[in-house]
Amino acid sequence: MKEKIYAMKPSPPLKTLLYFDAAMRLNSFSLAADELNVTPGAVGQQIRNLEQWLGVSLFTRQIRQVQPTPDGQAYWARIQPALAQIIDASHGLRDRLNNHVWLSMPPSLAAKWFARRMAGFLEHHPEVSLHLSSSVTLTDFSSERVDLAIRHFDGHAPELEVELLHRDDARVYCSPAYIAQFGLRAPDDLRKTTLLHNTLHPHWSEWLRRFAGIGDEEGRAISGIHFDQSLMAIEAARRNQGVVITSEWLTQEEVASGVLVEPFAQRLPLPKGYYLVQPRHSILRPTVQALKAWLIELANEAAD
């Protein structure tokens, strides 16, 4: 019996797929050119080569604008997961013996919680070179050099492997001197204070409604200062500038030293928390596994 021989189908020009993927992800030939370190014309040429091979148009071209066609959208949906697997496998093999680890987290968490703890990890793993980045935007594992990230969100991300580190709630803090200055005894005393707002915990209105009987309109009339980062709001509270609402994880040092205290016992439960995330089904290098295990252990110790 003769063995059947199957002819391999001709492959599309593989280089063109990388250009096509970049253009689709970034929704721009110019941005794709920046990422690939080529000219926009080179991106356009590679995509035309792919269109010629496929026999279909992947983009409609207008003056200073390109839009993916339905065929382009459907084709990218089919090939993008495979390209991501190729990139992930290639990085995994290349970095198998790499001792570098890339970790990302929100700036306030990096400054207020992680900075004074990271030396503990390096003491146990001196062979590791740790790279810490902080950003208020969500990490894009497909385009950024990140192994692990800590996100403050609801934990719903089907494309990620998610591990809860800390279930968050919103707590009110101020300095002991501020309590004495304004005679804070009950939540409705906040009417005469300055409220320190921050974008990570924008929960003053809900806290005031639930615990102080202060409606939205009255709450907006209370003096306030708005910050785009929690660490700035916490620092303002330290300096007797007002009352901040934020996370326990971001105030541990101030509370331990007595610089900040909770004037009220009421705490607002939140649907969000701090989660350790990585791409689903990704294979972690030993150094990354060590960092992940250490972060989980650290979080568990804090919960005890």
Tens-place pLDDT, residues 90-141: 766 766 667 889 999 999 999 999 998 999 999 999 989 999 998 877 777 7
Cβ–Cβ under 8 Å, residues 112 and 251: yes
Cβ–Cβ under 8 Å, residues 88 and 116: no
Pairwise CA distance, residues 38 & 20, whole Å: 13
Question: For the chain, what are the domain ranges?
Answer: 14-94, 100-167+272-303, 169-270
Pairwise CA distance, residues 52 & 134, whole Å: 42
pLDDT band, very low/low/confident/very high, at 1 (cuts 50, 70, 90): very low
In this model, does residue 277 exceed pLDDT 80? yes
Pairwise CA distance, residues 124 & 75, whole Å: 47
| Identical topology for domains 100-167+272-303 and 169-270 | yes
Model pLDDT, residue 119: 92
| Rounded average pLDDT over 156-160 | 91
- What is the chain's mean pLDDT, rounded? 90
Tens digit of each residue's pLDDT (9 = 90 or more) over 176-199: 999 999 999 999 999 999 999 999
Any idea which of 54-63, 67-76, 182-191 has the lowest mean pLDDT?
Answer: 54-63
Residue 204 or residue 281, greater confidence = 204
Share of the chain above pLDDT 70, in %: 95
In this model, does residue 6 exceed pLDDT 70? no
Model pLDDT, residue 96: 62
What CATH class has 169-270? alpha beta
Model pLDDT, residue 95: 63
Model pLDDT, residue 64: 73
280: which residues sit within 8 A by CB, 6+ positions away? 158, 159, 160, 161
| Rounded average pLDDT over 235-246 | 98
**CATH code reported for the domain at 100-167+272-303:** 3.40.190.10
| Architecture in CATH of 14-94 | Orthogonal Bundle (1.10)
Pairwise CA distance, residues 124 & 290, whole Å: 10
